[in-house]
Structure 1
Amino acid sequence: MILKKDAEKLKKARGVSIRYNNELASSIQLAFTYKGVQCRETVGYQVNQQGMNSASNMLGEIKNKIAKGTFFYADYFPKSKKLEIFGGAVTGATVKDYVDRYIENAEERGLAPSTVTGYKKSRNGLKPLWLVKVTELDQLMLVNFVKASSAKVKAKTISNRLSVLRSALDDAIIDKLVVQNPVAGFKVSKHIKVESNVNARKQHNAVTPFSPNEIDKIFEAAEGTVKAIIQFCNATGVRSSEWVALKKQDVCLISREVTIYEAVVEKQTKGTKTISGRRSIPISREVAELLEEEMDKHDSDYVFINSKGEHWNQDSFRKHQWSKVLEKAEVKYRYPYQLRHTFAARNISKGINLWKLTKLMGHKSPQQLYQHYGNFIDAYEKKSKRENAA
């Protein structure tokens, strides 16, 4: 630092000033107008003539960029409080910078943990594009990314990743870093083959319910609480996230029904995703008895408890219990979710009212049933016509 009397002798350009601490010159400050806002920022040059000249050159550069519309506040003042007004966009901002910001914003807005986790998985999948500058990202890069990714993951996963990228780069437009979002309008299906979820027979490829014979084999191979869980899921069609969250107070043995209020997602218990997800499901006497037996085993608030005295983790159940049961039963492996599909297909084949089934499964409308179980519904309707015509 130099004395105030010596600092005052230095040549200063307009907009460049010196800040003082008592009788000592402490720093150099720039003053300029950006987007109608009067800005004052301290720069790190030493208070001497060379520092004053450098500050003057910086101010000239800033004003020149402001005039051209190419000035980004964070490029020059990354720690400034003014970034709360002007945003933190920088000229060299990368894809990862914007995706990270998008995820941080999602967490601050309190989005569901499962949603944030999905965003993070998409961010990891976008790693080949992380270091690409947003200003340099183009559709050719996206095409190459899609084609390379298609060798490892399905088209739907790629689309999910690009959806996160598209939303993240909308902020780059707001920041005026780019004029147009490079991912907007980009169609994965134009560059790789996208397999349809429904085949020519209207069968949803993801729906492979268990046959009655397979269900019998699975029941025989299971035992104890694991068997009770499988029987309960088969009888009610609940999701894995719902049975792990089921509490004793949600079970009425008198009226023989269970009410679904909560679900465990990403290890957090929360209310059902939709209003329709909150529902009451009637249960048979047999199911009521197995639930009663499970609840009498322990003092926990939850219905189903594992060997450690804790309520189950659905992923752990699938990996360590469900897989062993199917192997023992010599039944082709499918995810536990197929028990839900089995419940739906079985009820459709019995001619249950589709609106009633919609409520039992926690859907908003029968449209979701048609999307997943169209072939089962068609088969039942053809069977009914044949019987009526006989």
Structure 2
Amino acid sequence: MNIKICLKSDREDSKDAVTIEEYILNWLNTVKINELKPTSFDRKEQTIQYQILPYIGKIRLSDLKSEDIQFMINDLKGKYSYSTIKKAYECINSCLKYAVKRHDVSFNAAEGCTIPKALMNGSDDKIKFFSDEEMKRIECEAVRCYKNGNRIYRMGEIIIFLVNTGMRIGEALALEWSDINFDSGTVQIRKNVVLVKDRDENRGKSYKYIKQNPKTRSGSRIVPLNKAATQALISLRGINGKFKYVFATKTGKRIHPRSIDRMFRCILKKSGLEGVGVHSLRHTFASRLFAKGVDVKTVSDLLGHSEVGVTYDTYIHLIQEQHVIAVETLENVLL
């Protein structure tokens, strides 16, 4: 939806009547749409729709106060994660900076607000990863067959592949057999498959899948394959070798990410484990590397993070645990 509003009208009453909802949606659809990838645009639209508009959407732009935004932040604290609240604050802050630059408002009301200190100390989002014993149960279930020998999970090996490469599910589903080099034991990550809103009203669909460049410049990378990942690919090649995509349906089409997620949750249930998303396999990959003493820079490179700081912030608790173990080891040596 592209709302056309005139903020430079000679009529001050027209300008003053503009609501936050009208202004921020116009900003999103005329300014941010040129800067953001489709996935980022969708996420920002959701942030506006669910975290911002219910609180301050009906307030006139000229009447917005810091207290209004601070109330929004404080109320969101009891409902959403730190990252969600941070995105909401950054979104309204960015929009108001734009408004100040255009002289549509005289000051940025968001600058007078703060994110609660309890959240500033760190994310309340706990990453989920599996122990070695849990992964053994998951992997056994993923490749389990019926009594007649038929596979229960046609693409079960993708679980083994993901936990041994640390790839994002979108990166894995974009893989073609030409990206795999069995001789050098590597896989080249070139693309990422993502689900975005289909904004073509004539198509009659709500969402569509697109292939885009990796999430960050560091996302384009070559990942080494260990024995487990290589064996999983060899097994999959016997199933999908005739198709273009490594992870394909029976008809050769790219598999829907939600299908993989449903399969994974089913595998977890059969393994007697808590149902979490497939992204937990990426966290498990990282946790295994840290447990082996791999440095954070190497882990960051393998994960394709934009910078080491992202890796450090995400896995700070794991890194701190390894520091404690390292010091205790040193103490035992000295004794």
Q: TM-score, normalising length from structure 1?
A: 0.69
- Does residue 102 in structure 1 map to residue 45 in structure 2? no
For 1:143, what is the secondary structure of its paired residue?
Answer: helix
- Displacement of 1:212 in angstroms is 0.8
Which runs of 5 or more structure 2 residues have no equivalent in the other structure?
Answer: 1-5, 144-152, 196-208
Please report how far the alpha carbon of residue 328 of structure 1 lies from its aligned counterpart in structure 2 after TM superposition: 0.7
1:69-116 CA deviation, whole Å, 9 max, x = no partner? xx9643659xxxxxxxxxxx8221110122112211345415211210
Structure 2 vs 1, CA of residues 278 and 225 (structure 1 numbering), >3 Å: closer, same or farther?
farther
Letter in 2 for 1:236: T
Correspondence 1:112 to 2:37: yes
The verdict on how the C-alpha distance between 1:383 and 1:227 changes in structure 2, with shifts beyond 3 A counting, is farther
Distance 1:248 1:287 in 2: 14
Q: What residue is the counterpart of 1:40 in the other structure?
A: none
Normalized per residue, which structure has more strand? 1
Distance 2:312 2:32 in 1: 35
Relative to 1, partners in 2 of residues 1:333 and 1:159: Cα closer, same or farther, differing over 3 Å? same
- 1:297 aligns to what SS in structure 2? helix
Q: Is 2:273 the partner of 1:331?
A: yes
- Please tell me whether the aligned partners of residues 244 and 252 of structure 2 are also in contact (alpha carbons under 8 angstroms): no
Counterpart position of 1:144: 71
Letter of the aligned partner of 2:245 in structure 1?
Answer: Y
8 Å Cα contact 1:348/1:376 also seen in 2: no
- Are residues 347 and 108 of structure 1, via their aligned partners in 2, closer, same or farther at CA, if it must alter by over 3 Å? closer
- Distance between the aligned counterparts of 2:163 and 2:272, measured in 1? 18
Note the C-alpha offset of 1:136: 0.7
Residue 156 (structure 2) pairs with residue 227 (structure 1): yes
Q: Is the 8 A contact 1:173 1:180 kept in 2?
A: yes
Match of 2:322 in 1: 377
How far is the alpha carbon of 1:124 from its aligned partner?
0.6
Q: Contact (CA 8 Å) 2:160, 2:228: kept in 1 or not?
A: no
User: Which residue identity does 1:263 align to in structure 2?
Assistant: N
Deviation at 1:231, TM superposition (A): 0.2
| Number of aligned positions between the proteins | 301
1:294 is displaced (CA, Å) by 1.7
Q: Quick one: percent identity of the two aligned structures? A: 21
Structure 2 CA distance for partners of 1:72 and 1:317, relative to 1, 3 Å: closer
- Counterpart in the other structure of 2:247: 304
How far the C-alpha of 1:278 sits from its partner, in A, is: 1.7
Greater Rg by CA: 1
Distance 1:385 1:208 in 2: 29
Deviation at 1:141, TM superposition (A): 2.0
CA distance in 2, matches of 1:356, 1:325: 30
Give the Cα separation in 1 of the matches to 2:125 and 2:60: 39
The answer as to whether partners of 2:32 and 2:41 remain within 8 angstroms in 1 is yes
Is 1:243 matched with 2:169?
Answer: no
The structural deviation recorded for 1:205 is 5.3
Listed one character per residue, the Cα deviations across residues 283-310 of structure 1 (whole Å, up to 9, x for unaligned) are: 1344323213323433332111135642
Q: CA deviation at 1:386?
A: 4.9
1:293 aligned partner:
235
Does 2:53 correspond to 1:127?
A: yes
Counterpart amino acid of residue 179 in structure 2: D
Query: 1:74: which partner in 2?
Result: 9
Shift of the 375–178 alpha-carbon distance from structure 1 to 2, 3 Å rule, reads same
Q: Deviations over 1:29-59 (max 9, x none)?
A: xxxxxxxxxxxxxxxxxxxxxxxxxxxxxxx
Partner of 1:154: 81
Q: TM-score, normalised by structure 2?
A: 0.79
Which structure 1 segments of 5+ residues have no match? 1-70, 78-88, 199-203
Asked if 1 retains the 8 angstrom alpha-carbon contact of 2:66 and 2:112, the reply is no
Q: What is the root-mean-square deviation of aligned Cα atoms in Å?
A: 2.8
Deviates more, 1:338-347 or 1:227-236: 338-347
Residue pairs, 1:191-230, within 5 angstroms: 193-194=118-119, 196-197=121-122, 206-223=126-143, 224-230=153-159
Residue aligned with 1:289, SS? helix
State the partner residue of 2:220.
278
Residues of 2 paired with 1:378 and 1:230: CA distance? 30
Return the alpha-carbon distance in structure 2 between the equivalents of residues 330 and 91 of structure 1: 59
Letter in 1 for 2:93: R
Tell me which of the two structures has the higher relative contact order, counting C-alpha pairs closer than 8 angstroms and 6 or more residues apart. Answer: 2
**1:155, CA displacement in angstroms?**
4.0
**Separation in structure 1 between the aligned mates of residue 267 and residue 169 of structure 2, nearest angstrom:** 16
174 and 300 in structure 1: CA distance in 2 versus 1, 3 angstrom threshold: same
SS in 2 for 1:226: coil
Match of 2:202 in 1: none
Residue 18 of structure 1 corresponds to none
Deviation per CA, 1:155-205: give whole Å up to 9, x if none.
432231122112122233234332101112311316xx537447xxxxx85
